[in-house]
Structure 1
């Protein structure tokens, strides 16, 4: 009697590609470039640093981004253009007004 594949025995050659591994599309590259232009970020080092901070890895060009990372990059560029500081996760650190303890 032959053994039937188990519940978790998925052949690797038929597994679908994960969405997170899809490469960036040409339209998305153009969207990022336009967003940088609108935000007034023209220096390549600043652009690279912003993207690296979003994807948390070192990239050499926009073509190394994955399609799912584009939205986060665009949101960060938009926040920078609007002058909104990104949140640090702490409401104390993100406060805008001074408190009595700041005045000491």
Structure 2
């Protein structure tokens, strides 16, 4: 009654997996964009840059050229987040406060 040749799941003889394309290497333009973003964000230390990149890609990276093209967008978003999170340097702490105080409400 059971015919091994017509097995429903073919557990013993799995079909070959489809060819999965490897991620593309990072492009020169992407490398320059990352460097420019670091410069604009004020991240100048190589150690700080390396730590930020490794925190995004969740692996050790010895060189920026080891990155993949898909990593660049996430890295740029993280750097942009740093830049927008920095407080502006104009005015005093009083001028830069986030909420109104009782004095403001008078």
Matched, 1:17 2:21: yes
Alpha-carbon shift at residue 80 of structure 1 (Å): 0.5
Runs (5+) with no aligned partner, structure 2 = 1-14, 87-98, 100-106
Structure 2 length-normalised TM: 0.63
Deviation at 1:10, TM superposition (A): 5.3
Look at both structures and tell me which one has the larger radius of gyration over its CA atoms: 2
Q: Where does the alignment leave 5 or more consecutive residues of structure 1 unmatched? A: 1-7, 85-96, 98-104
TM-score scaled to structure 1, two decimals? 0.64
Counterpart of 1:58 in 2: which secondary structure? coil
Q: CA deviation at 1:81?
A: 0.8
Number of residues of Structure 1 aligned to a counterpart in Structure 2? 77
Work out whether 1:27 is the aligned partner of 2:34. Answer: no
